[in-house]
């Protein structure tokens, strides 16, 4: 019996149609959609095989209400009309497909994506809170978080390149501002700016972050920013060489980012021979189960 998949290409086209949005941030919902895919996947722990992109646990307060997920109710709401139109698709597939589609649409690399994730019907497999990065920390924290998922130092730096997109919001994370001059175009500018600009502590009433102006900007422009976890990449002797390589070679960065993001969105996905993921690899054979809409979860102070 063939899996009950519908037309993923039609879903992709509908995602592309909503990405440009003049009323949201810098004119695109793409960056927050990418963040949704990343946060939905980044809860994985290789120690006990829990978390990951399978299940779409963010529909539940237990995961969606994690302070690190503040603001992602906007991303989920943007995708809800597409879920309603294509009600056969699971949220877990929709969120990850939307993420890779948005990256490509913003001039990023093609990222391999496979369908088959199911949606949890209850909170049994929802991972505990606190597994996502705290941007106020340093390199030891980054390794603790990403090693738990199964990533190495090179992959940590490559994934950090996702900060070529989007911005922080004071009313969500407490941090504020974009990392790069054009936050809706995927590039290796994050690494170039991290190395080349003079980053100084921002003097303001928010949490500690770094601030700088790129060439051609003046003091009337919104300054660029880096988080403590970003700056740690050039302070750490093992992270820094990869920052330098990606700053010098856009093609290398794109190739490595494609591989590591594809790995990220497969975390916690255990597929049967037909490609359908089980709720848990210890469960019986999986089924492609699309969940009904869950109400938006509470928000709190995000950590990225």
38 is catalytic: no
Residues 6 or more apart whose Cβ sits within 8 Å of residue 141: 133, 134, 229
- DSSP E strands in 197-261: the ranges are 200-201, 210-212, 224-226
Q: How far apart are CA 271 and CA 90, in angstroms?
A: 15
Of 39, 113, 163, 242, which residue is the catalytic one?
39
Nearest alpha carbon to residue 92 among 124, 68, 131, 126: 126
Tell me the β-bridge partners of 225: 211
What is the C-alpha to C-alpha distance for residues 106 and 127, in angstroms, rounded to an integer? 31
Sign of CA dihedral 206, 71, 14, 18: negative
Query: Contact, 51 vs 131, CB < 8 A?
Result: yes
Catalytic residue among 38, 95, 113, 179: 179
Q: What's the token pair of residue 251?
A: 């093609």
Q: Which residues of 243-278 are buried (b: 16+ CB within 10 A; e: fewer)?
A: bebbbeeeeebbebbbebbbbbbbbbbbbeeeebbb
Residue with tokens 């003049």: 22
Q: Among this protein's residues, is 39 annotated catalytic?
A: yes
Catalytic residues: 39, 179
């Amino acid at each position: 019996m063939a899996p009950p998949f519908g037309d993923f290409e039609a879903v992709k086209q509908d995602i592309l149609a909503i990405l440009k949005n003049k009323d949201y941030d810098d004119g695109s919902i793409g960056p927050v959609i990418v963040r949704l895919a990343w946060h939905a996947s980044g809860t994985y722990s290789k120690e006990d095989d829990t978390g990951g992109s399978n299940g779409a646990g963010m529909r539940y307060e237990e995961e969606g209400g994690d302070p690190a997920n503040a603001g992602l109710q906007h991303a989920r709401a943007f995708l809800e009309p597409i879920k309603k139109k294509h009600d056969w698709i699971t949220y877990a597939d929709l969120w990850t497909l939307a993420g890779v589609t948005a990256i490509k649409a913003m001039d990023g690399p093609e990222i391999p994506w496979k369908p088959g994730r199911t949606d949890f019907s209850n909170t049994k497999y929802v991972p505990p809170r606190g597994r996502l990065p705290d941007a106020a920390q340093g390199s030891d924290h980054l390794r603790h978080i990403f090693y738990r998922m199964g990533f190495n130092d090179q992959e940590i730096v490559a994934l950090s390149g996702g900060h070529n997109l989007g911005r922080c919001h004071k009313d969500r994370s407490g941090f504020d501002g974009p990392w790069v001059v054009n936050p809706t175009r995927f590039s290796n500018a994050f690494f170039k700016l991290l190395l080349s600009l003079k980053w100084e502590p921002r003097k303001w009433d928010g949490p500690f972050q770094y601030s700088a102006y790129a060439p051609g900007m003046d003091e009337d422009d919104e300054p660029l920013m880096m988080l403590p976890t970003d700056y740690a990449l050039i302070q750490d002797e093992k992270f820094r060489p990869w920052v330098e390589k990606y700053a010098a070679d856009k093609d290398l960065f794109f190739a490595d980012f494609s591989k590591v993001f594809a790995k990220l969105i497969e975390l916690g996905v255990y597929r049967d021979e037909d490609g359908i993921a089980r709720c848990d690899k210890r469960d019986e054979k999986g089924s492609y189960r699309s969940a009904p809409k869950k109400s938006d979860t509470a928000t709190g102070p995000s950590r990225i």
